Structures are given as C-alpha cells and as structure tokens.
Structure 1
C-alpha cells in the first residue's frame, strides 16, 4: 500500500481553509445579529446588520449542503 502524501496534504490544506472560512462566516453572522439587537435596544434600525447576518448563515448552510452533496454523489 502506497500513500499519496501530496494528495493527503492537499486535502488537509483545503479542509483547514474551508473550516476556518466557515467558522469565520458563522461568527460574522452571530456578530451581525448581536449588532442588530444592540441597535434595536438603542431605538435605531439595523436592517443591514440583520440582512448581512442572514446572508452569512445562508452561505454557511449552502456550504454544508454542498459538502453533503459531495459526499452523497
């Protein structure tokens, strides 16, 4: 049995980058929702923060769905 170390390293690198990006995107969504709540408490409008947060969550869901698609197909 021979291990292709270059392919293994490539998979590791891509997995690491995608994981960090997905966690960062989810964190941006959480931060956007907290900004929206803080602005609402001050009596302001925070539609942009809510929209950005929902967009981040939608991108996270799309990435997860794409990963499941890659596994199934």
Structure 2
C-alpha cells in the first residue's frame, strides 16, 4: 500500500485553513450582533451596519457548509 503523503498534507492544510476561516467569519458575525445590541442599548454605533455585518458573515458560513455538503453527497452532482 502506498500513501501519497504530499496529497494528505495538502488536504490537512486546506481543511485546517478553511476551518479556521469559517470560525473567524462566524466570530465576526457574532461581533456584528453584539454591535446591534450595543446600538439598541444606547452605547452608540450603527444598528444597520452591525446587522449587515452579521448577515453577510452568517451567509458566508452557510455557503461554505452547503458547498461542503455538495462535495460530500454524490446525488447532488
């Protein structure tokens, strides 16, 4: 049995990078929601900007998860 260690390393690096990226984008979405709460409590800040930030970040997370499911499930191809 022969293992292609280079390909295995590439898969590990890409999956780690995408995982970290999704976590960072999700955290930015939570930060946007926190800004919405701060604006509603009167601490200043833009309510619409935080909501837009959260929406775009969560939409990006959903898109990455949907693409991963598309890649895994063969009936979608």
- TM bracket, shorter-chain basis: over 0.9
Normalising to structure 1: TM-score of the pair?
0.94
Instruction: Supply the distance in 2 between the matched residues of 1:60 and 1:50 (Cα, whole angstroms).
Output: 15
Structure 1: state its 5+ residue gaps.
none
More displaced 10-residue stretch of structure 1: 35-44 or 13-22: 35-44
Q: Which stretches in structure 2 are left out of the alignment for 5+ residues?
A: none
**Which portions of structure 1, spanning 4 or more consecutive aligned residues, are displaced by more than 6 angstroms?**
none
Report the number of matched residues: 73
Aligned to 1:13: 13
Aligned-residue CA RMSD in angstroms? 1.2
